[in-house]
Structure 1
Amino acid sequence: MCFKHRTLGQGGVIGLHSGPHNQTDGILIRNVGWNLIGPIAKCMQSCAVGSEKERGCLQLLNALIESCNPKEILLGILEQIDEAAGDHISRIILPFLQPLQIVLLKLGNKKSYSVGLSLSTIHSRLSNLPVPYTAQQMQEDKYSLCQCCLALVQFAQPFIDIVSQSIDLSKEADTEEMRKELLTFCFSCLKYPLLNAPLNTLPEDEGDHPLRVFAKQIMGFLVSLGESLPRTFVQRGHSAPTNDTEGSISGNEVCSVESLACLSYLLFVQHIGIDSFPFVFGPSFLVKSNMGHVAVLLKRTEESLLSKGLDLLEHSLLRVDNGSLPEDVLEVLTANQVLQDLVKVMTLCPIEHLRKKSLATLQLVIDKFCVEGKYKLFRCLLKISSHAGVEGYIIHNIKNQIDAALKTNPQNKWFLGTRLTPLLLSALSLSEGAETDLLQMSDRIMASLNLLRYLVIKDDDNETGVWSELAKIEQDFLKPLHTGLNMSRAHYDAEIRSTHEKKRGSHSGKPLCTVTAGGNKLPDMTPEMQLQVLQSALFTFDLMESVLARVEELIEVKLKSAPEGKIGSS
């Protein structure tokens, strides 16, 4: 068919009229035909998907591809994709992928740059679409992101085949360059949309969900491109991407830390691509290597990423036997960051199930470490937590370890004897002495009192060194706690009297107390509400005082009843 005349038909449909072959027409089409791509794209946006009008537009586009310079058509198509926005992104990308693929295949051997430019342009536009999160959103696929992902896999497949078929042969420069472009695309897809994709919430009967299929295809592409998943995991697990040897990703522009974190998540949580990952590494090594990936995920605030980070840490630890994780895991640079972020999720995350999950994961971390690892972990957590509830939880775990040592392993050098002393003194102390906010620190203080009560009852032979350090414990913990309780009780008693006076001098129920937290004004409190808060505080002080009195009573009884020189000796 030759092109004699171009018109905009009814409804804006572009029409081509056939006529006798004319060489001038052919030259004109080759020179300016790419200018028609814009009107074609505009026409397609206004017609229904799969309509006769859309088919006519695609036929016209294919005719232009046959007649015009491929590079000009390529730029014309990419221009339309790059300008697409909002609801029109998928509406332009989906019908243009196959024509764009045809154009790229017509370019011959020197097409790696054009393939990379096409993939980056398409991915850049898709990155503006929200990733569906709930089951309903995934089913609706409002912005056709899932559909675009599957179409993008089909679009990239021929170029993957070109590289994979020559992967074992002497590589030409253009093939190797295309390999790098395709790797860049694959790792970009790991960052978006797969990093945010809720793969962990998909039910088992949705194994063929587009996002899961897309993840499997991308991991398969990496293997087909000759990317060694174990080498990538090992070389990138401890540090930022750098140039390295053949057969692995090269350069920061190819692979971000987020992409690597997603790769690790797909391998070890979803088990996607795990068949191409031979398990030549020990469980402890995998935990060390995954620490960096977990740190990347836990520092984010999005629910899907936090969930992935917790899942990755959990699945890494589940491969380790209880009590076998070596202490040198804590020497990994990112391990300290993971612990801090775990505490932040536990205490600050507004999503309840993630807070509960992080607490369970912390206990899993504790259970997996060897005895020395547990000891160093507890010391680390007491330094970095800055949260009374977490510190109380750690002190409770310290008590459990001491109990296990006393019952089953009297030779334990970490939770008995002089090695225990620094940890013990750290647990049995008040950070601000008598001026410590006892109400805010009540969880930690109660855990410390329970630990001391346990030691006084169980350790008659001074195996933990508690009796040797009793004078210091009294000086740094018991006496300041007595003073602090007296001061706090006096303060709250005065507040209660003041509130009663305000209540008698005002109308009942009228807000009289304004409270601010973090610079934000909270709802006003009535005198009745204020009294309830103050009474609750006094109840907490009563409880502390009761346990404190019991501990001091036990200490006195033990000191009086013990044979001379037995208690208190090292």
Structure 2
Amino acid sequence: MAANQLEDVVQRWRITEENDFKNEDHDLFLNAGLTCIAQGNSAQLLDFIKQEANQHIVRSMACGLLPALVKEVLRKNHSCAHGEAILDHLILVCNVKELLDILLQQVNDIDPDATADSITILMPLIQTVLLRMESKASGLASALDSLQKQISKLPVPYPHKQEQEDEYGLCRCCNAALTFVQPFVQEVKNQHLNSAATNQDTNLRPTLLKFCMASLREPLLQAQLDREQNTMDKSPLWKFATEIMAILAMIQEPLPKLVFGIAVKSAACHPIESRACMAYLLFVQLIAMEVFPAVFSPVFILQCNMEYINLLLSRKDESWILKGLDLNVKSLERVTDSSLHVELLELKSFHEVPQNLVKIMTDCPIHHLKGKSLVVFQLFIEKLNSEAKHKFFRRIMKTSHHAGVESIIIKNIKNQVELLRKSGNQVGWFEGTRFVSLLRDIIILPQGHETDLLHGMDRIMESLNILRYLLLLERERCTRMWTDLCDIANSYTKLLRVCLKMSKSYYGTELQNLREDKKIRAKEFKEASGNRNVQRMIVNAEMLGSMPRDTQDKVLQCALVTYDLMESLVVRIEEIIKNPE
């Protein structure tokens, strides 16, 4: 019926000029066309659309059919070949500005449940429209903004298993985005090769640059990207990352200007998250590294990357933290040992990165991230020179407030002394008055006689170990160092003995009371088992505390064993002081 209705008025339209169509003509054509689509008469509509005699009608009035045609094509389990053919024809003949406005509105109004399917259909149509336009930059910018707005709403698959499943279609959207931008990238490349850059080239370049930098931020920063895991089976997001970096290398000045901001005033305009992801792809995954100039010193690269590392480590997302740790490792590995000077520690990024590593080591609930952060922390220490180590150790001991971290620092101080002795160098930051001053600051009980020995066990044991080591090392030399060490050791062990006495007395009493209480309850249970309500006794037992009594017993015993170990080290240190020969 709609096809017949369309045919009835077509004769009058065929003698009407394009600019003479009235509003009622547009309404009539639109109603008839939409009815054809709704009733499944797309074949008849296609015949009308393609007739040469009707092209002025199509150009003037057919744009309004686009939303319904897109919806028709998106319908699953329904033949849409005619609808696709109509779309393809309209895209080639209708007014480009009107087409672009309607298609962009379709992108902005995408059904969240059909994002990937919609983008797959709409972006090729928008691409064709843009390629018909003389001035593409503005339309391309609007299209890419709309596209990335929709992509940013999709969850990023993590880990690789989710990426292969691509349940929400993010990977499909990324592939569609790459296909969409390729003609415009090629246009910029051709104009650059021909040395015939035009205003259009100047406009396309920043638009494509903005697209690439936004893609680095979302979704690539959240994605799991690993060269080794992707060697055999290239993932869609890995391909997306490599293509984005290739586009950047193709359309932009050398990559250092983007990743380091060298001589580029606009570098600060790009999100730091994007530049952090670029640094990760370059220095960790080695994507586009073949076009990165090898003229920068390892220390300079590390210094530039520390800002990005700090950003990545300060987040709580596993993907961000892992990228930050990997970037830190690769940046540090390029630097030779003991080459980082104390001046670098004063830089904000060099001050904050170790603090973030400490937070991950102590607070992160993900075990493998805690372990990796410890490795990176130790690698950072190894790259510091003697003076920087001395200052760094002092700073961490004052700020960490964590016995485990403090024990790592004390162990590193002992290792530094060992290296110094093996090298035969008797002058430095871990000798003489400077070293004694450091020891006086770290070989202490932070809360005096109120120190919780169990909580601070790691630090206390390492403090006792380094005291014993240093005393044994210096006892035959009879130097001022020996006198200072004896003074430090006497002050420390004297206070520690007071704490040990109080702690052992307290925990011994607790253990004795626990065992006595256990005997009493066992006896009461035996007596009550014949004539009392057993359930009531069980409930009362549960009210005593969440920790089972056997566990309490083991904890108390373990504490007492720990105190015995501390006391044995104290005794050994006292023996060395009394009998230095």
Question: TM-score range, shorter-chain basis?
Answer: 0.7 to 0.9
Partner of 1:39: 68
Partner of 2:432: 417
2:208 corresponds to 1:188: no
Give the stretch that moved more between structures: 304-313 or 502-511: 502-511
In 1, the alpha carbon distance for the partners of 2:478 and 2:84 equals 87
Q: Does the C-alpha gap of structure 1 residues 318 and 60 become closer, same or farther in structure 2, counting only changes over 3 Å?
A: same
Partner of 2:484: 468
In 2, the alpha carbon distance for the partners of 1:299 and 1:479 equals 41
Q: Deviations over 1:112-132 (max 9, x none)?
A: 121111111111111122222
Contact 1:78 1:121 in 2 (8 A): yes
In 1, the alpha carbon distance for the partners of 2:515 and 2:390 equals 50
Q: Deviations over 1:178-217 (max 9, x none)?
A: 2212111100110112112211275253363322221111
Partner of 2:335: 320
Structure 1 residue 331, shift from structure 2 partner: 2.5
Partner of 1:79: 105
In 1, the alpha carbon distance for the partners of 2:421 and 2:183 equals 67
2:409 corresponds to 1:394: yes
2:389 corresponds to 1:374: yes
In 1, the alpha carbon distance for the partners of 2:301 and 2:380 equals 14
Contact 1:183 1:249 in 2 (8 A): no
Partner of 2:237: 211
In 2, the alpha carbon distance for the partners of 1:26 and 1:157 equals 30
Partner of 1:335: 350
2:83 corresponds to 1:57: yes
Structure 1 residue 335, shift from structure 2 partner: 1.3
Structure 1 residue 358, shift from structure 2 partner: 1.2
In 2, the alpha carbon distance for the partners of 1:8 and 1:70 equals 24
2:188 corresponds to 1:163: yes
Partner of 2:20: none
Partner of 2:578: 556
In 2, the alpha carbon distance for the partners of 1:513 and 1:536 equals 23
Contact 2:261 2:267 in 1 (8 A): no
SS at match of 1:8: helix
Partner of 2:17: none
Contact 1:13 1:57 in 2 (8 A): no
2:165 corresponds to 1:116: no
In 2, the alpha carbon distance for the partners of 1:86 and 1:505 equals 66
Matches within 5 A, 1:324-363: 324-363=339-378
Unmatched 5+ stretches in structure 2:
1-5, 11-31, 526-536
In 2, the alpha carbon distance for the partners of 1:140 and 1:503 equals 56
Partner of 2:170: 145
In 2, the alpha carbon distance for the partners of 1:183 and 1:464 equals 65
Partner of 1:8: 36
In 1, the alpha carbon distance for the partners of 2:133 and 2:479 equals 80
2:574 corresponds to 1:546: no
- Paired residues in the alignment total 535
Structure 1 residue 505, shift from structure 2 partner: 4.2
Structure 1 residue 332, shift from structure 2 partner: 2.3
Give the stretch that moved more between structures: 370-379 or 504-513: 504-513
Letter in 2 for 1:217: E
Contact 1:512 1:524 in 2 (8 A): no
Partner of 1:519: none
Contact 1:38 1:80 in 2 (8 A): yes
Letter in 2 for 1:196: Q
Structure 1 residue 313, shift from structure 2 partner: 0.7
Give the stretch that moved more between structures: 355-364 or 368-377: 368-377
Contact 1:381 1:391 in 2 (8 A): yes
In 1, the alpha carbon distance for the partners of 2:293 and 2:337 equals 24
Q: Does the C-alpha gap of structure 1 residues 360 and 174 become closer, same or farther in structure 2, counting only changes over 3 Å?
A: same
Contact 1:30 1:67 in 2 (8 A): yes
SS at match of 1:279: coil
Q: Does the C-alpha gap of structure 1 residues 19 and 153 become closer, same or farther in structure 2, counting only changes over 3 Å?
A: closer
Letter in 2 for 1:34: C
- Structure with bigger gyration radius: 2
In 2, the alpha carbon distance for the partners of 1:335 and 1:466 equals 35
SS at match of 1:199: coil
SS at match of 1:205: coil
Give the stretch that moved more between structures: 21-30 or 385-394: 21-30
Matches within 5 A, 1:130-529: 130-167=155-192, 169=195, 172-200=198-226, 203-206=229-232, 208-235=234-261, 245=264, 249-250=266-267, 252=269, 255-460=270-475, 461=477, 465=481, 467-468=483-484, 470-475=486-491, 477-506=492-521, 510=538, 512=541, 524-529=546-551
Structure 1 residue 280, shift from structure 2 partner: 0.6
Structure 1 residue 56, shift from structure 2 partner: 2.6
Q: Does the C-alpha gap of structure 1 residues 20 and 329 become closer, same or farther in structure 2, counting only changes over 3 Å?
A: closer
Letter in 2 for 1:115: L
In 1, the alpha carbon distance for the partners of 2:50 and 2:117 equals 35
In 1, the alpha carbon distance for the partners of 2:227 and 2:450 equals 47
In 1, the alpha carbon distance for the partners of 2:168 and 2:408 equals 46
Structure 1 residue 10, shift from structure 2 partner: 6.9
SS at match of 1:131: coil
State the TM-score, normalizing by the size of structure 2. Answer: 0.85
In 2, the alpha carbon distance for the partners of 1:206 and 1:513 equals 55
Unmatched 5+ stretches in structure 1:
237-243, 516-522, 562-570
Contact 1:327 1:370 in 2 (8 A): yes
Contact 1:456 1:554 in 2 (8 A): yes
Letter in 2 for 1:291: M
Q: Deviations over 1:266-314 (max 9, x none)?
A: 0001110111211111111111111111111111122222111111111
Contact 1:291 1:334 in 2 (8 A): yes
Contact 1:167 1:226 in 2 (8 A): no
Work out which of the residue numbers 110, 129, 133 in structure 1 matches 2:154: 129
Give the stretch that moved more between structures: 16-25 or 124-133: 16-25
In 2, the alpha carbon distance for the partners of 1:54 and 1:101 equals 21
Contact 2:171 2:237 in 1 (8 A): yes
Structure 1 residue 33, shift from structure 2 partner: 2.8
In 1, the alpha carbon distance for the partners of 2:480 and 2:161 equals 57
